[in-house]
C-alpha cells in the first residue's frame, strides 16, 4: 500500500494572517501560481469573511489557479452561516473547491470563548457542514484546539461531523501544545474510535510550532494514520508558525515515510518567492531553505564533504532546489581552502600554502564574514582595508520623478565629483558612485539595510554583496544616515573588488 500524503498548503491563510506577513492580492496570486507549480494538492487561499480583500484574493485564485487540472482551492469559514456563504461565493470559479469550516472543541475555548455548551458546539458544527455542502461536496471540518480537547468528546464531534457530510477531518494542535508522542496517542485514539464506530474520513493535522515541535508532531500524526498535513512555506503562521512544508516533504522523501505530489526541486524558489513578497526571510539555520542549511564551514565537516558528501549531508540539496556551499572562516579546513584558492585560479602548494593558510586564519579570526578579497589579502600578507576610493560627501536633490545625487570622492589623491539620477536616494547615489569609479559592471547581488535600534536616531547597518567576473566581495557600514551608510557599504565592496582585480591584473 502506498502511503500517499495530501499536502494542504495554508501559506496564504494561516501564514499570511501572521503578524508582519500581510500580502497584497496580486502577490497572493503569484504565490498561488507557484504553489500550483510546486504540486501541492490543496491551496487554502484565505478566510473569505475576514476582509473584502481576502474574499477578492480567494476569488481571483479560484478563477486563475483553480483549473480542472489544478489544485483544490479552499477557503476557511467559521461555523457561521454568513462566513460559509462568503467562502462559497469566493470559491465559485474554482473547478475543485473546498470549504474548510471549524469550531473549537476544547473546554478552554467552549467555556472561555463561546460561553456555550459542548452540545451547542456539535449542533453548530453539523449545521455549518450542511450549509457548506450546498456549495461543494468537498467539506473539511476542523476541531480547533484539538490538542487540548477531551478525547471522548472529540470522537463524538468528529462522528457527528462525518455523519453531516464532512470528507476531511482536521485535528489541529492550534497552540502547539502536544509533544510528538502525545500527538501520536491523541490522533490515534480519535482515528481508531471513529473507525470503531463504523465511520471514516481523510484525517488531517494542522500543527503550530509554539514549542518548536510542529514538524515532529506532524510526523507522529502521519505515523498515527493521518493522510493530510496542513503546512506552510518557510513554516510561517500564527505566533511561532505552522509546520513547514519543506521539512515535512524532505522527511517523507528522504526517510521514505510517504509519497506526495510536491515537485521538491521547486522548494528553493518557492521559499525565496514567499520571503521576497512577505519581506521576511527564514533564519539562516532554518532546515532545508535557510542560507546555512547546506553550508559547511568547520574544517572537519568541509574535509568530510569534499571526500564524501553523505558524511555531513543527509539529503541532496539539488533535490530541493537549493545549493550546498563551503563557507570560509577561522575554523575552515586546509583542503577546502586549497580548493577555494584553486577555483579562484591561485595554485599554492607546500610552505607557501602553509603561510597563506596561517595568514588567512589570522584575518578570519578578526572578521565576522569572509570574502574573496580576504583570501587574496592572505596571499599578499595585507591586513589593511583597501582604500582606492575614499568618500568625501554626497548631496541628494529631490526631482519631479525620483532623486538626483552629487557624490564627491577622492580617487588616487584626486577629487572626483559625479551626478546621477534614480528612483530613490540610495539608487541615485550608487549610480553616481559607479560613474565616478567606472564601476558600471560591478553587480550588486545583495543589499540589506537594517536599523540598529528603534529611535529616529538609531544607526543604519548596511551589508552588501557585490560581484565582478566570478569574484564576490562584501561591503559593510554603520551610520546614522541611511543613505550614507549605503554609500559607504558600496564603496567598501567596490574597493574590495578593485583589490581582487589588481591582484589578477596588476598592470591595468
* 253 touches 319 (CB < 8 A): yes
Q: Where would I find the beta strands (DSSP E) of 222-273?
A: 228-231
| Beta bridge mates, 50 | none
Among 66, 70, 88, 172, contact with ligand KIV (rule: CB under 6 A)? 172
232 binds, among Zn ion, ligand KIV, none (CB under 5 to 8 A by kind): none
Closest among 427, 383, 421, 426 to 401, alpha carbons compared? 421
* 77 touches 128 (CB < 8 A): yes
Restricting to residues 4-23, which ones interact with ligand KIV according to CB under 6 A?
14
484 binds, among ligand KIV, Zn ion, none (CB under 5 to 8 A by kind): none
474 binds, among Zn ion, ligand KIV, none (CB under 5 to 8 A by kind): none
Stretch that binds ligand KIV, among 106-114, 123-131, 166-174, 262-270 (CB under 6 A): 166-174
| Closer of 175 and 487 to ligand KIV (Cβ) | 175
Maximum Cα–Cα distance across the chain: 88
| Shortest separation between residue 363's beta carbon and Zn ion, angstroms | 48
218 binds, among Zn ion, ligand KIV, none (CB under 5 to 8 A by kind): none
| Shortest separation between residue 76's beta carbon and ligand KIV, angstroms | 6
First to last CA, the chain: 68
The string over 185-194, giving b where at least 16 C-beta atoms fall within 10 Å of a residue's C-beta and e elsewhere, is: ebbbebbebb
The values of phi and psi at residue 125, to 5°, are -65, -45
Restricting to residues 43-82, which ones interact with ligand KIV according to CB under 6 A?
76
Q: What is the spatial distance between Cα 25 and Cα 171, in angstroms, rounded to a whole number?
A: 29
Residue 306: which H helix or E strand, with range? helix 299-307
142 binds, among Zn ion, ligand KIV, none (CB under 5 to 8 A by kind): ligand KIV
In this structure, the number of other CB atoms found within 10 A of the CB of residue 152 comes to 10
Among 14, 60, 374, 472, contact with Zn ion (rule: CB under 5 A)? 14
Q: Can you spell out the DSSP letters for 393-442?
A: EEEEEEETTEEEEEEEEEETTEEEEEEEEESSHHHHHHHHHHHHHT-TT-
Does residue number 144 form part of the binding site for ligand KIV (CB under 6 A)? Answer: yes
For helices 25-38 and 267-278, what crossing angle results, to 10°? 170
* 83 touches 49 (CB < 8 A): yes
Stretch that binds ligand KIV, among 167-175, 244-252, 269-277, 480-488 (CB under 6 A): 167-175
59 binds, among ligand KIV, Zn ion, none (CB under 5 to 8 A by kind): none
Q: What is the spatial distance between Cα 356 and Cα 358, in angstroms, rounded to a whole number?
A: 5
3-state secondary structure of 136: coil
Does residue number 218 form part of the binding site for ligand KIV (CB under 6 A)? Answer: no
| Shortest separation between residue 492's beta carbon and ligand KIV, angstroms | 46
| Closer of 170 and 492 to ligand KIV (Cβ) | 170
Stretch that binds ligand KIV, among 169-177, 186-194, 279-287, 336-344 (CB under 6 A): 169-177
| Closer of 20 and 196 to Zn ion (Cβ) | 20
Half-sphere exposure of 115 (CA within 13 A, CB side): 0
Residue 309: which H helix or E strand, with range? none
Convert residues 379-418 into a mask of x (bound to ligand KIV by CB under 6 A) and - (unbound). Answer: ----------------------------------------
| Shortest separation between residue 126's beta carbon and ligand KIV, angstroms | 18
| Closer of 206 and 434 to ligand KIV (Cβ) | 206
Stretch that binds Zn ion, among 10-18, 95-103, 388-396, 459-467 (CB under 5 A): 10-18
In this structure, the number of other CB atoms found within 10 A of the CB of residue 2 comes to 6
- Using CB atoms, what's the residue nearest to Zn ion? 14
Convert residues 104-143 into a mask of x (bound to ligand KIV by CB under 6 A) and - (unbound). Answer: --------------------------------------x-
| Shortest separation between residue 230's beta carbon and ligand KIV, angstroms | 7
Q: What is the spatial distance between Cα 130 and Cα 5, in angstroms, rounded to a whole number?
A: 27
| Beta bridge mates, 178 | none
Does residue number 54 form part of the binding site for Zn ion (CB under 5 A)? Answer: no
Which positions touch Zn ion (CB under 5 A)? 14
Amino acid at each position: 500500500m502506498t502511503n500517499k500524503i495530501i499536502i494542504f498548503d495554508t501559506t496564504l491563510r494561516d501564514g499570511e494572517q501572521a503578524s508582519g506577513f500581510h500580502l497584497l492580492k496580486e502577490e497572493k496570486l503569484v504565490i498561488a501560481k507557484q504553489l500550483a507549480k510546486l504540486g501541492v494538492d490543496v491551496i487554502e487561499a484565505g478566510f473569505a469573511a475576514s476582509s473584502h480583500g481576502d474574499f477578492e484574493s480567494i476569488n481571483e485564485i479560484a478563477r486563475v489557479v483553480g483549473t480542472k487540472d489544478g489544485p483544490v482551492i479552499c477557503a476557511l469559514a467559521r461555523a457561521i452561516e454568513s462566513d460559509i456563504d462568503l467562502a462559497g461565493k469566493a470559491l465559485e470559479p474554482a473547478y475543485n473547491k473546498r470549504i474548510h469550516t471549524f469550531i473549537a472543541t476544547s473546554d478552554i475555548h467552549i467555556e472561555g470563548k463561546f460561553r456555550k455548551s459542548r452540545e451547542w458546539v456539535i449542533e453548530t458544527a453539523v449545521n455549518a457542514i450542511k450549509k457548506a455542502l450546498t456549495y461543494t461536496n468537498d467539506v473539511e471540518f476542523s476541531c480547533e484546539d484539538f490538542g487540548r480537547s477531551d478525547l471522548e468528546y472529540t470522537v463524538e464531534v468528529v462522528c457527528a461531523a462525518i455523519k453531516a457530510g464532512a470528507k476531511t477531518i482536521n485535528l489541529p494542535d492550534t497552540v502547539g501544545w502536544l509533544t510528538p508522542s502525545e500527538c501520536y496517542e491523541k490522533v490515534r485514539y480519535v482515528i481508531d474510535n471513529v473507525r470503531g464506530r463504523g465511520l471514516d474520513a481523510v484525517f488531517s493535522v494542522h500543527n503550530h510550532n509554539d514549542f518548536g515541535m510542529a514538524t515532529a508532531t506532524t510526523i507522529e500524526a502521519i505515523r498515527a494514520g493521518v493522510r493530510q498535513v496542513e503546512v506552510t512555506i518557510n513554516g510561517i503562521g500564527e505566533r511561532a508558525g505552522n509546520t513547514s512544508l519543506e521539512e515535512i516533504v524532505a522527511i517523507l522523501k528522504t526517510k521514505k515515510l510517504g509519497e506526495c505530489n510536491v515537485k521538491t526541486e521547486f522548494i528553493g524558489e518557492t521559499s525565496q518567492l514567499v520571503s521576497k513578497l512577505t519581506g521576511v526571510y527564514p533564519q539562516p539555520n532554518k532546515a532545508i531553505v535557510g542560507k546555512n542549511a547546506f553550508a559547511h564551514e568547520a574544517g572537519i565537516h568541509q574535509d568530510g564533504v569534499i571526500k564524501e558528501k553523505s558524511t555531513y549531508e543527509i539529503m541532496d540539496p539539488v533535490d530541493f532546489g537549493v545549493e550546498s556551499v563551503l563557507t570560509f572562516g577561522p575554523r575552515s579546513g586546509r583542503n577546502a581552502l586549497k580548493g577555494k584558492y584553486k577555483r579562484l585560479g591561485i595554485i599554492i602548494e607546500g610552505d607557501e600554502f602553509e603561510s597563506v593558510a596561517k595568514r588567512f586564519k589570522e584575518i578570519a579570526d578578526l572578521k565576522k564574514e569572509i570574502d574573496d578579497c580576504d583570501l587574496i589579502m592572505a596571499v599578499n600578507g595585507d591586513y589593511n582595508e583597501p582604500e582606492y576610493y575614499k568618500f568625501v560627501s554626497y548631496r541628494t536633490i529631490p526631482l519631479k520623478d525620483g532623486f538626483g545625487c552629487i557624490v564627491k570622492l577622492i580617487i588616487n589623491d584626486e577629487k572626483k565629483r559625479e551626478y546621477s539620477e534614480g528612483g530613490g536616494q540610495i539608487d541615485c547615489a550608487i549610480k553616481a558612485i559607479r560613474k565616478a569609479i567606472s564601476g558600471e559592471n560591478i553587480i550588486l547581488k545583495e543589499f540589506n539595510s537594517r536599523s540598529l535600534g528603534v529611535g529616529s536616531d538609531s544607526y543604519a547597518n548596511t551589508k552588501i554583496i557585490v560581484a565582478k567576473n566570478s569574484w564576490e566581495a562584501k561591503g559593510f557600514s554603520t551610520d546614522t544616515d541611511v543613505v550614507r551608510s549605503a554609500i559607504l557599504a558600496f564603496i567598501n565592496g567596490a574597493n574590495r573588488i578593485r583589490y581582487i582585480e589588481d591582484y589578477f591584473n596588476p598592470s591595468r
